[in-house]
Structure 1
Amino acid sequence: MNNATDRLSAYTEAYHSGIYTKDETVSAIIKLLADSSDFSVLWPSVPDWVQLAIWNFLKSYDESSVRYDFSSKSYVGFSPELSALKSWLIKVMEGQ
């Protein structure tokens, strides 16, 4: 997980230094979480403002959703990984 944690830090540092916009940062972190073998371990390290943005996006995310992935510069549709992240976040965010 250290590599994912390092990438998370790099994305947030790039945002704070003005290299990435908020949307670029959130998109990159969504991809990082979706690609992670255990996003539940990485989630607590995600800054609150990014967690909120991801949660707000995923609440309305379904099979018809398409998002722009700034990392790959392509449009990305429904994926099982994001569906799994959404299901887990429903338990975490609504269970608070």
Structure 2
Amino acid sequence: MNRRQPTTTLAAALGLAMAGGVTAGHAQMKDPRAMTMERMAQGHLQKCFGVAARGRNDCAQGAHSCAGQATRDRDPGSFVLLPAGDCSKIAGGKLSAT
């Protein structure tokens, strides 16, 4: 009997099992924008524009796809989610994109 055949069969079976797990994980991922809006609704949070650090935003208005993609500090089109009322306490914070 060839000793390599059981090892090859086992390796192939493990590879298929791992690939199936990865595919299932991708199917369960949510849209980042949907997750941001869900957090906003559940936590009584507001969008605060113009205060996010580069790469630290929660989302944006048309500038890019979503979280963590701000290319500059205090980008007026990117926002972070803050508790209601806190945005007005931060210098440069606005409740709408400019």
- TM value normalised by structure 1: 0.25
Task: Compare the two structures and name the one with the higher helix fraction.
Answer: 1
- TM value normalised by structure 2: 0.25
Task: Compare the two structures and name the one with the higher strand fraction.
Answer: 2
